[in-house]
Amino acid sequence: MSESQYDIAIVGGGLAGGLLALALRKQRPDLNLRIVESGKALGGSHLWSFFASDIAAADRWLVAPLISYGWARHSVAFPGHARTLKAPYYSIESERLDRVVRAAMPAGGVMTGRKVLGASARAVVLADGDRVAVGSTAGRPNLLVPGCRSTSRAGEQAYRWRAPVSGTYVFDTFGSSFDTALYVLDGCPGAELACNDDTRGESSPRSRSR
């Protein structure tokens, strides 16, 4: 299990996630950005189509690199009726979305084939136990008090997680440089199920709850 830190993590690499990533890379290239997608490629296997009038002229720069096909006009035909519309029409293929977004993202910025178990405003927990943390807990209020560290006044971070199946699960802060206390509640608020500060009884920043 490992943890990586980013400014923003986008869960889902479909059209919406891909457009968001492209916009952020263009407007805020300083951000450390990551996309997490369960499929093998961004966009899956789709074809998206739209009229030029669907997107404001000032915003078309965002979709322009994604366009696979375009027509200056198109025809509509029914039994006994036909009409040609002088309205530009475009289509985006998922293969092109995957290629363009990958090219725009920093090295390692696209995670495909990674199932997400849970997500919050501060972290994404993956099925293999890896964790993608975002943002910072600096300055956050301390609203919950762990039973194993009742004197703590440090800022906190809470995550909501539901076990996919019955079993035993282990949570730890190994790899973190922060001095942490880790505890599990049965809901929020809820009864404390487990709490640990300084795993193995030693004085260390690491904590583990089971």
Q: What letter does residue 195 receive in the DSSP assignment?
A: E
Residue 66 is predicted with a pLDDT of 97
Q: How much is the pLDDT for 60?
A: 94
Q: Kindly list the distances between the CA atom of residue 147 and the CA atoms of 114, 119, 152, in Å, as whole numbers in the listed order.
A: 34, 25, 10
The answer to whether residue 48 is domain-embedded is: yes
We report the CATH number of the domain holding residue 12 as 3.50.50.60
> Considering the domain boundaries, does residue 151 fall inside one?
yes
Report the alpha-carbon distance of residue 5 to residue 22 in Å, rounded. 20
Q: For residues 108 and 18, state if they share a domain.
A: yes
121 lies in a domain?
no
The residue segments making up the domain with residue 202 are: 136-210
Do 82 and 7 lie in one domain? The reply is yes
Find the range with the poorest average confidence among 25-29, 81-85, 90-94, 202-206.
202-206
Does residue 124 belong to any structural domain of this protein?
A: no
Distance separating alpha carbons of residues 64 and 45, to the nearest angstrom: 20
- Residue 78 falls within a domain, yes or no? yes
Split into its structural domains, the chain has a count of: 2
Contacts of 183 (CB under 8 A, 6+ apart): 146, 147, 148, 192, 194, 195, 196, 209
Task: Note whether 135 and 121 are within 8 A (CB).
Answer: yes
pLDDT in tens, 152-173: 666 666 777 778 888 888 887 7
187 shares a domain with 155: yes
Q: Which residue has the higher pLDDT, 33 or 131?
A: 33
Do residues 10 and 104 share a domain?
Answer: yes
Tell whether the model's pLDDT for residue 110 goes beyond 90.
Answer: yes
Residue 203: predicted pLDDT? 47
Q: Quick one: which of 35, 10, 50, 22 has its CA closest to 112?
A: 35
Residues 53 and 142 in one domain: no
Q: Which amino acid is at 14?
A: G
Residues 89 and 140 both lie in one domain: no
CA distance 148 to 193: 12
In a domain, 157, yes or no: yes
Kindly state whether residues 18 and 81 are assigned to the same domain. Answer: yes
Residue by residue, DSSP assigns 130-163 as -EEEES--TT-------TT-TT--S---------
pTM for this predicted structure: 0.63
User: Radius of gyration of the chain from Cα atoms?
Assistant: 23
